[in-house]
Amino acid sequence: MFQEKLVVLCNPLLDIQATVDAEYLKKYDLKANDAILVDAKSGDKKMAIYDELASYPDVKYIAGGAGQNSARGAAYILGKGKVAYFGSVGKDKYAEKLAAENAAAGVTSLYQVQEDAGTGKCAALITNFDRSLVTDLSAANLFTPDHLDKNWSVVENAEIFYIGGFHLTVSPESIIKLGKHAKETGKQFILNLSAPFIPQFFKDALKEVLPYTTMVIANEAEAEAYAEAFELKCSKTDLEAIAKEIVGDSKKTVIFTHGLEPTVVVTSEGSQTFPVKALESSKIVDTNGAGDAFAAGFLAALVEKKPLETAIDMGQWLAALSIQEIGASYPKVPLAY
C-alpha cells in the first residue's frame, strides 16, 4: 500500500505537439506564447488544428495536462507511490497512454472515467522557444467532487495539495473541498495560476479559492494578468509589489518565475530573489512544460521538507532538465539533484 504525500488535481490532457510557423499562428489568431481553451460545441474553427497537426512531420503525441506534468515531475524526484493525481478522462487510447506514462513515472492515477466524452487534448504549437497551447478539455471538463469522496482516504493521508489553476475552469467546488480539508488539518495547499486567462476570465472562482492557499505559484504574464484583473494600484510589471498584494496580511508564500530573470519569492517575512542559471540556448529543445517542471521540483522539495531556497533551486533544476526534452517530459535516465 502506497502512502501518497502529494495530491495533485488538474486536467489530464494528451499533448499533440508540432513545430509551426508564424503564418499558422496568424491563421488562427494565436499568440506565440499563450494557453487558451476552445469550445468544441460552438463550432470554433480552431478545432481543425488537431487534425491538421497530425500531418506535420515532427508531430508528437505526449502526456500533458499542466498538473499531471508536475505530478510526473515530482515523482521523478520522489520515486514511486508518493504522488497521486486526480482528473477526468474518457475511455480511450489517449487515456491509456496517459495512465501508462503516470505509472511509468510512479504517479498513482485516480482518474474519473467518463463514458460519453473523449480524453482532452492540447495542441502545443511550437515556434522557436515559444509555445502556444490550444486545449479542448472534453472529458477533463466533467470532473466532479464526488470523485474525491470516493478516494477520500488518499486525501486524508496526503500532506501537500497542488492545484493547477487551469482546473478553476472545471470544478471550483472540488478545489474548495480539498482546500477546506487542507485548512482544517493545517496542510499545504498550493495553487498555480496556470495562464493569464485564469485571473482574467475566472476571477470569481480564483477569489473563492485563494483564501485556502498557503502558496501561490505563477509566471510573470500570469502575475500581470492578476494585477490587471484585480485592479491593483501597483505597476502591473512589478512582481514584488503584486506578490505583496497577494500575500496581504496572510502567511502565504508567493513565488513568481520570470523566464531567465530571477525568481521572486514574497512571504509575510519579506521578499527575496533567486537568480536562474541560464541554459545554453543550443541545449533547449522546447519550453513546453517548463513551468510545470519548476512546480514539480519545488513540490518534491517541500515533500522532502527541504528549505524554501533549496525548493526554488530544485524547481529551477528540473525546469532546465525538462526544456532539454520534447514536451513536458523528463530525462529517461533519472538524474539526482
Positions in the binding site for ligand 26A (CB under 6 A) = 10-11, 13, 15, 35, 37, 64-66, 69, 122, 133, 135, 137, 164, 166, 169, 288-289, 291-292, 328
Distance CA 214, CA 162 (A): 10
Cell digits of residue 70: 508536475
Catalytically annotated residues = 292
Q: Which is nearer to ligand 26A, 158 or 170 (CB)?
A: 170
Least distance (Å) from ligand 26A to the CB of residue 34?
A: 10
Distance CA 36, CA 48 (A): 15
Reduced to 3 states, what is the DSSP secondary structure of residue 124? Answer: strand
Least distance (Å) from ligand 26A to the CB of residue 37?
A: 5
Distance CA 31, CA 66 (A): 19
Q: Which is nearer to ligand 26A, 137 or 229 (CB)?
A: 137
Least distance (Å) from ligand 26A to the CB of residue 4?
A: 20
Contact criterion met (CB below 8 Å) for 203 and 195: no
Question: 279 φ, ψ to 5°?
Answer: -85, 140
Distance CA 212, CA 189 (A): 7
Q: Which is nearer to ligand 26A, 72 or 252 (CB)?
A: 72
Q: Which is nearer to ligand 26A, 10 or 223 (CB)?
A: 10
Cell digits of residue 79: 520515486
Residue nearest to ligand 26A (CB): 64
Least distance (Å) from ligand 26A to the CB of residue 60?
A: 12
Cα distances (Å, whole numbers) of residue 18 to 58, 122, 132, 157, 169: 6, 11, 10, 40, 26
Distance CA 319, CA 332 (A): 15
